[in-house]
Amino acid sequence: MPAGASHRFHRIFCLLLLAAGLAYWLIVFRSDPPDPGKIVQARIRLLAITIALVAALAPYLRLRTIELIEWTNATLFFRPIRTALSIAIVTAIYILLYDWASRELLFIRLNDEHAYMIQARMMTHGRLWMPPYPPAITPFFDALALVGDRVYAAMYFPGTALAMVPFVWLNLPFWLMPLLAASLAAGLLYLLIADLFDPFRGLLGVLMLISLASFRDVSHFLLSEAPFLATELVCLLAWIKFRRQLNLGWALLIGITAGFAAITRPLDAVCVAVPVGLAIIWQLRRQPRPLLQASSAIMLGALPFILLLLIQSKGITGHWGTLAESYYNQQNFPASPLGFHDVSSYQIPQNTNAIKRQWLHDWILPKYAQYTPTIALQTWYRGRLRVTLERSLPDPILAILLPLSLLCLAEIRRLVMAAILVLFLFSYAFYLFFLDHYVVAIMPSMICLVLMSLAAIQKNWPHAKRLNTFVPLCVFTLSLATLWPLKPIPPVSPSDAADQRPANALLAHLPKMPAVVLFRFDPSVASAHDDPVYNDTVAWPDDAQVIRARDLGPEQNRAIYRYYAQRQPNRFFYVYDPQLRAAGKNPLSPPLGTAAELAKTQP
């Protein structure tokens, strides 16, 4: 095919891809019913695009923009590490400012956060689990995300808790760990994008990242997403370095990061490790010795983390090959959350407490009913794909550009970034849960795809200066629109922690201590997602100054009175009643007496 005809064909193909992206955006995003929030977003979008269009069409502004891009690339090209560190610092400051108005609402309140903190406390004592309570006492400490029968432990993989250990040792606020991980991820993303494209696009990619609400959210929650994102980016950068130098030190770092990722978010880790591993095998396919050496170094780096996971599995479940999370799911889920299941009534766990029953019937069982193969297939492009685009793009309108990234997949590094996204979407199509913050793992891939689309436009219309100025400026202004003004949405509203907030305040000023507070649960006024019964200030509940336990009623409470009468007889008992809190009264009772006194008076 002649060069001119080939060039015209590529342009036509480009336009077809843009048309496909536009069609998807119109069908999925523009068909929503009228909503005040959507109207405001549309107005902000229009303003951002108008500003970009004016800057691209005005000769003076366009020239200054082009000069600024060239100056940025020339200035930052030889300063990657210094620039990345500056970005990490600026990102940390920005997140702190963004959260400042809601800083008092930042406390450990999600079930997962409590479990991770308890796990971290155990690790500071060199343990992954603690001995179980006697069978009669176990129900008093039964909670979501905790194993209590064989041992007392968290159900989760140990990576997030491991990252939290230094902060527990130094007695630092819990939110510093995700904040530092997220800030580090911003700096690492700059290094990755600058290597794949140029420094200006590296800065643009970082702006896109910090403009995303889900990224900012995970930067102050004790969850696995922020440490995983930072680890993922180190792994990708180590692979790029190894690809150029074939240095075994980089291969070892790939193994270390892959191993840590595997014990932090295993499904996401597979989505990253498989493309990177296949890329290494492809590169060294005709060099058996370097391939063997690289594979050995990678496995050596991952080995300590895999051993840690095996030790946890054996200690908690009794079997090397049974994960703690699988063991927990077998006891509390009607079926595995992986795959599609037609749940029948006999599969629903019956021996659960009131909180778990509410959690199961109000949240879990409807998900099984709604996520069948037929429904998943019919709603995927309007459901999980839409959520992915909404949460990983500064504005959903940028989805129009994404099909153009297909034109830039010939380069192996960019292909790997796209493959991570494809594997992620495929893997989670078979997973029961798909929460908004899950997409943090593929934010680098989505940002890379947007920048690949910009590169495709520039390649096919190299002399269209207005177009090549307008499109990057659109990405810039749409990203900037979500950053300013600094008007934070509180990550935790008071109503979302109706019992934990007052409980934390009341338990900090008990008239008589040490104490045990028995929390009643009433599903009419309390929620399983707002459970105060987690002793996350210590590795073992009995070591807490104020122990939190469940109120199981007068008959069963005798067991816990006798238990502490034998071990810590001077502990005072209180009862926390959410019915009183809902009625606007003090939910905490006066002291009922000590464990020794209650054990004697109770028959």
pLDDT digits (tens, 9 = 90+) for 555-580: 999 999 999 999 999 999 999 999 99
Contact 337, 433 (CB under 8 A): yes
- Whether pLDDT at 491 is above 80: no
Q: What's the average model confidence in pLDDT over 45-64?
A: 91
Strands 572-576 and 593-594: what pairing? antiparallel
Q: What is the CA radius of gyration of the chain?
A: 27
Residue 102's pLDDT band, with cuts at 50, 70 and 90, is low
Residue 107 burial class via C-beta count within 10 angstroms: exposed 0-12, middle 13-18, buried 19 and up: middle
The Cβ-side half-sphere exposure at 246, using a 13 Å CA radius, reads 9
* pLDDT value of position 32: 67
Per the DSSP assignment, residues forming a β-bridge with 547 are: 516
Is pLDDT of 331 > 70? yes
Give tens-digit pLDDT for 402-425. 999 999 999 999 999 999 999 999
Does residue 375 register a pLDDT over 90? no
pLDDT-derived band at 29 (thresholds 50, 70, 90) equals confident
**Of 121, 69, 95, 110, residue with least CA distance to 184:** 95
Question: Where would I find the beta strands (DSSP E) of 278-417?
Answer: none
How long is the chain? 603
Statement: residue 4 has pLDDT above 70: no
The pLDDT of residue 156 is above 80: yes
Mean pLDDT of 27-51: 78
Q: What mean pLDDT is reported for the chain? A: 91
Half-sphere exposure of 381 (CA within 13 A, CB side): 10
Residue 487, pLDDT score: 46
For residue range 582-594, what is the model confidence (pLDDT) as tens digits?
A: 999 999 999 999 9
- The pLDDT score that the predictor gives to residue 398 is 94
Omega of the bond prior to 514 within 30 degrees of 0, cis?
yes
The rounded percent of the chain whose pLDDT value lies above 70 is 94
Show the DSSP H helices in 248-361 as ranges: 248-262, 266-283, 288-317, 324-332, 354-359
Question: Binning pLDDT at 50, 70 and 90, where does residue 374 land?
Answer: confident
Segments of 169-292 assigned E as strands? none
User: Around Cβ 30, how many Cβ atoms within 10 Å?
Assistant: 12
Average of per-residue pLDDT across 430-439 = 92
Q: Residue 494 corresponds to which tokens in the numbers above?
A: 């008071």
pLDDT value of position 494: 41
**Predicted local confidence at residue 540, as pLDDT:** 96
3-state secondary structure string across 145-175: CEECCCCEEECCCCHHHHHHHHHHHCCCCCC
Q: Which of 65-79, 182-196, 294-308, 372-386 has the lowest mean pLDDT?
A: 372-386
Dist. CA 221–CA 110, nearest whole Å: 9
The answer for residues whose C-beta is within 8 angstroms of residue 347's C-beta and 6 or more apart is 334, 335
Closest-CA residue to 179 (of 164, 194, 161): 164
**CA of 145: how far to CAs of 165, 231, 535, 551, 555, in Å?**
19, 24, 13, 19, 27
CA angle 354/491/257 to nearest 5° reads: 90
Domain chopping of the chain, boundaries? 339-378, 494-601
User: Can you point out the beta strands (E) in 489-597?
Assistant: 515-519, 546-550, 572-576, 593-594
- Per-residue pLDDT tens for 177-218? 999 999 999 999 999 999 999 999 999 999 999 999 999 989
